[in-house]
Structure 1
Amino acid sequence: MMAKTPRLRPGFRFQWEPVQNAHVLLYPEGMVRLNDSASAILAEVDGQRNIEQIVARLEQKFPEAGPLAVDVCDFLQDALQQHWVILT
């Protein structure tokens, strides 16, 4: 899975929402308010970086968090099941 490249599903947009005071994922049917961890991961999902590169960037940004591969993969698996992202 680490070699796969995630990207947001067409029609989905990740953005900061001042009214919610949080990052959100907007899609045609609604909106999902994201917690800090989900926001940090989705901020790295650009359709160019593979999961291994995303993990490396997050571990560099948040060294106190320790190894993040399992957490990132678990979140992306959930996001895939929710149809927020696709993997190529």
Structure 2
Amino acid sequence: MKLKMRNISNLDTFFKVINQCDGAVELSLPEGGSVNLKSKLSQYFSMATVFSNGSIKELSLTTHNDEDSKRLIQYMVQGC
């Protein structure tokens, strides 16, 4: 499932939710391609580049598991 997430300000909590997911959670890159956010190396790389200002205005994620999609939607509804 493709998800648009907006206004993420707590990156620690965001990555805790990502790490709880059972399947891959892919970040779509603006120049094309994607990065699996379940990988610790990808998380560090993403934090250093995509999330360098401390908050995320908008990003596109792809999940491959319905429960993971529900988990991320619940995270967004409860507040970031």
Normalised by the size of structure 1, how large is the TM-score? 0.34
Ranked by relative contact order (alpha carbons within 8 Å, sequence separation 6 or more), the top structure is 2
Normalised by the size of structure 2, how large is the TM-score? 0.37
- Answer with 1 or 2: which has the greater Rg: 1
